Amino acid sequence: MLYFLSEFSEQFGALNVFRYLTFRTGGAVMTALLFAFLVGPSLIQWLKRKQREGQPIREDGPEGHLLTKKGTPTMGGIMILLGMGIATLLWADLTSGYIWAVLLVTLGYGAIGFADDFLKVTKRNTKGLPGKLKLLGQVGFSGAAALWIILLGEGDQATSLAVPFFKDLLVDMGWLYLPFAIFVMTGASNSVNLTDGLDGLAIVPVMIAASVFVLISYLVGNAVFANYLQIHHVPGAGELAVFCGAVVGAAIGFLWFNAPPAQVFMGDTGSLALGGSLGALAVVTKHEIVLAIVGGLFVLETVSVIVQVASFKLTGKRVFRMAPLHHHFEKKGWAEPTIVIRFWIIAVILAIVGLSTLKLR
Ligand code: 57M
């Protein structure tokens, strides 16, 4: 919205600053962060009042959770989504179709997660929405967004997959790209959802990935930089740097309240939305494989579940003491903060590897 102020830069030269992506991205970070700090405490109090006993804790989980997590309210994702939404609407160029496509996935997935959390809290069980219904909703929102993104794209590139390290390799998938894009968004969403099982465990890797995508969006959207780095130029993708800034700011603000011992959990309201937004960013910027690297921690957690369930079904034996992977280390006796901080370190290393794909071509 503030972007339109730059139209008056002829009369008031200072307003030209609203034209700059860097300035508006910084503004989005600060707006989302301040929103979380200002609204967080009262939102948590309100959630506590409404939820009384807080997040229903699974009986079959790590024993400690039943003691230490009881009474913690969920749906803290409301503060994340409100902060991100307000910051994006305030600082992004709202004529950008990419901004609205990514917001469609983010808020659509957030609504699915909210319904899931609401059922869990009101029915006092950990079932929530039936899995198939959640997936159907995710496919619906991501399908609409993917179609929109393809139509906004240019020529064959719109339905092509870029491969990191191979600058000239663009695999044109034709209309197969649509189900692929849906897979990226729903996969990223459910991976973040699975990962969000310890205080601070999901929100920091999300923040790290969003920070990487601030840079990727900016570079991919800038013809000069894209040409210099020999990455695929996606006109208009630069505006997503503002959205990524809003994610980073909201994530830092939420982390203040989710740091151990968490005062609030983000809930599926936050985890499904944040994962979906990362998937949508990867699709617009044609960095799907890079997202799998940068978000490798989410991939690792999901693969641990797939391996565990497959092994248990096929052989009756478990590969891990419990899946996802963070529970395995809990069962091994690692303290929760130890697991969380070591997983953060892995996320930082993977982000550096992901960033290296911009240069090594
Ligand atoms: C998402 N949800 C947390 C919180 C958060 C197939 C199977 C792997 C599915 C998986 C599952 O149910 N995943 C759901 C993980 C839950 O967190 C809530 O959910 C939101 C995210 N979606 O925002 O609202 C619990 O995680 C803890 N938590 C924190 N701090 C946080 O900041 O401590 C969350 C956020 C919260 C709280 O205790 O209640 C979760 O873990 O359910 N299932 C599992 O992960 C279960 N694993 C399992 O069943 N393993 C099996 C096989 C089937 C794979 C096995 O290994 O044999 C474990 N998870 C738990 N209890 N909590 C075991 C059962």
Cα first-last separation, the chain: 37
Q: How confident is the model at residue 248 (pLDDT cuts 50, 70, 90)?
A: very high
Q: Please report whether residue 200 resides in a domain.
A: yes
| pLDDT for 268 | 97
Q: What is the tens place of the pLDDT at every residue in 265-280?
A: 999 999 999 999 999 9
Residue 65 has pLDDT above 70, yes or no: no
Q: How confident is the model at residue 64 (pLDDT cuts 50, 70, 90)?
A: low
Centre of ligand 1 from the C-alpha of residue 269, in Å: 14
| pLDDT for 113 | 97
Residue 75 has pLDDT above 90, yes or no: yes
Q: How large is the angle between the packed helices 296-315 and 177-195, nearest 10 degrees?
A: 90
Residue 94 has pLDDT above 80, yes or no: yes
Instruction: For residue 160, give the 3-state DSSP assignment.
Output: strand
- Report whether 202 contacts 268 (CB < 8 A): no
| pLDDT for 25 | 97
**Average pLDDT rounded to a whole number, residues 136-164:** 94
Please tell me if the CB atom of residue 60 comes closer than 6 angstroms to any atom of ligand 1: yes
Q: How confident is the model at residue 62 (pLDDT cuts 50, 70, 90)?
A: low
Please tell me if the CB atom of residue 116 comes closer than 6 angstroms to any atom of ligand 1: no
Q: What is the tens place of the pLDDT at every residue in 287-332?
A: 999 999 999 999 999 999 999 999 999 999 999 999 999 999 999 9
Q: How confident is the model at residue 51 (pLDDT cuts 50, 70, 90)?
A: confident
Residue 60 has pLDDT above 70, yes or no: no
Nearest CA owner, ligand 1 atom 63: 61
Q: How confident is the model at residue 61 (pLDDT cuts 50, 70, 90)?
A: low
Q: Please report whether residue 336 resides in a domain.
A: yes
What is the span of the domain harbouring residue 335? 22-356
Q: Please report whether residue 345 resides in a domain.
A: yes
Residue 66 has pLDDT above 80, yes or no: no
Choose which residue among 206, 274, 318, 322 to substitute to test ligand 1 binding: the one with the highest number of ligand atoms within 8 A of its C-beta: 322
Please tell me if the CB atom of residue 304 comes closer than 6 angstroms to any atom of ligand 1: no
pTM as predicted = 0.94
Choose which residue among 80, 189, 305 to substitute to test ligand 1 binding: the one with the highest number of ligand atoms within 8 A of its C-beta: 305
| pLDDT for 213 | 98
Centre of ligand 1 from the C-alpha of residue 60, in Å: 10
CB count within 10 Å of CB 334 equals 14
What is the C-alpha separation between 256 and 30, in angstroms, rounded?
14
Q: How confident is the model at residue 44 (pLDDT cuts 50, 70, 90)?
A: very high
Q: Please report whether residue 17 resides in a domain.
A: no
Q: Please report whether residue 221 resides in a domain.
A: yes
What is the C-alpha separation between 288 and 281, in angstroms, rounded?
9
Nearest CA owner, ligand 1 atom 16: 197
Number of domains in the chain: 1
- Given the CA of residue 193, which atom of ligand 1 is nearest to it? 22
C-alpha closest to that of 285 among 346, 354, 353: 354
For residue 160, list its beta bridge partners.
172
**Average pLDDT rounded to a whole number, residues 226-251:** 96
- Given the CA of residue 56, which atom of ligand 1 is nearest to it? 39
CB neighbour burial string for 12-40, b if at least 16 within 10 angstroms, e if fewer = eeebeebeebebbbebbbebbbebbeebb
Nearest CA owner, ligand 1 atom 13: 194
The pair phi, psi for residue 160, each rounded to 5°, is -110, 155
Residue 63 has pLDDT above 70, yes or no: no
Q: How confident is the model at residue 54 (pLDDT cuts 50, 70, 90)?
A: confident
What is the C-alpha separation between 133 and 37, in angstroms, rounded?
34
| pLDDT for 4 | 84
Nearest CA owner, ligand 1 atom 35: 197
Q: Please report whether residue 166 resides in a domain.
A: yes
Q: Please report whether residue 14 resides in a domain.
A: no
| pLDDT for 164 | 86
What is the C-alpha separation between 51 and 357, in angstroms, rounded?
45
Centre of ligand 1 from the C-alpha of residue 144, in Å: 29
Please tell me if the CB atom of residue 271 comes closer than 6 angstroms to any atom of ligand 1: yes
Q: What is the tens place of the pLDDT at every residue in 23-40?
A: 999 999 999 999 999 999
Q: Which residues contact 82 (CB under 8 A, 6 or more apart)?
A: 35, 39
Please tell me if the CB atom of residue 90 comes closer than 6 angstroms to any atom of ligand 1: no
Q: How confident is the model at residue 53 (pLDDT cuts 50, 70, 90)?
A: confident
Establish whether the linkage from the previous residue to 261 is cis, with ω within 30° of 0. yes
Q: Please report whether residue 9 resides in a domain.
A: no
Nearest CA owner, ligand 1 atom 6: 305
Strand 160-162, strand 170-172: pairing: antiparallel
Nearest CA owner, ligand 1 atom 32: 199
Please tell me if the CB atom of residue 322 comes closer than 6 angstroms to any atom of ligand 1: yes
